[in-house]
Amino acid sequence: MTAPAIDVQELVKRFGGLVALDGVTFAAAQGEVLGIIGVNGAGKTTLMNCICGIYRPDAGAIRLGGQDVTGWAPHDIAHRGVGRTFQVPRVFRRMSLIDNLLVPVLQHKVPDRALIEAAEAMLERMRLIDLRHNFAEELSGGQQKLLEMARMLMPDPQVVMLDEPFAGVHPTLCRFMIEQIEAMTAAHKTVLLISHDLTSIYRLSNRVLALNQGRVIADGGVDAIRGNPDVIEAYLGS
């Protein structure tokens, strides 16, 4: 049996006395979309930050395709094929769109011309090509989210983590982003999708992980999650 694309076991992350992740366990197969839901402060972003190496977990293990990567530095995790976007997009504001896209692939042993062509093709795909020489700071918030997604895709990551891609984004752009996520799974990438937009989560996800106060309160198919009393209580209060 092949190892899951991502396998997280008993992950713990504390900030002083606060337990942000309290023994989180889940796995996702290649090509799967795992939706991650939970109220504000549930631990969703902390989970992503642990997986991508920004935070070192206090306990537990993270495996990618069977390889233990717990405690690895962010650039090593990225090199291992994990990409992510941020809840508030982190673009290089005073760099052009093209240069933003070249940053994660500069070390690739490919001629500059080929990299620039790949960056232009990605901007074309993201409908940002006409702005390729503009500074990233000139983009709208939604366009910055697209740019960040484009930059993440440049090194062709196998595991993609998206933190609130739809937050503050116009419905037309949301639909476009949903199509982009569908294209990622068509390309057999594994997608971890954090969102408060349950309609999009339910539409896109093969499975959903519900977190509350750093714990997994439900992990299952969309239908099971929708009717799960613990999930309903976490969202609506008792």
From candidates 6, 8, 20, 149, binder to ligand ATP by CB under 6 A: 20
**Nearest CA to 32 among 220, 224, 234?**
220
Residues 38-67 that bind Mg ion (CB under 5 A): 44-45
- As a 3-state breakdown, the chain gives helix, strand, coil percent values, each rounded to 5, of 40, 25, 35
**Cα atoms in the Cβ-side hemisphere of radius 13 Å centred on 212:** 13
Nearer to Mg ion, 45 or 143 (CB): 45
Alpha helical stretches, state H, the chain: 44-51, 74-79, 97-102, 112-125, 141-153, 171-186, 198-204, 222-226, 229-236
Q: Which is nearer to ligand ATP, 100 or 144 (CB)?
A: 144
Site string for Mg ion, 85-124 (x = CB under 5 A): --x-------------------------------------
| 221 interacts with ligand ATP by CB under 6 A | no
Q: In angstroms, rounded to a whole number, what is the distance separating the alpha carbons of residues 150 and 50?
A: 22
Min CB(112)–Mg ion separation in Å: 37
Would you count residue 44 as binding ligand ATP (CB under 6 A)?
yes
The tokens describing 22, both together, are 């309290």
Does 210 engage in binding with ligand ATP (CB under 6 A)?
no
Rounded to 5 degrees, φ, ψ at 84 are: -150, 155
15 interacts with, out of Mg ion, ligand ATP, none, CB within 5 to 8 A per kind:
ligand ATP
Q: Name which of residues 127 to 186 contact ligand ATP (CB under 6 A).
A: none
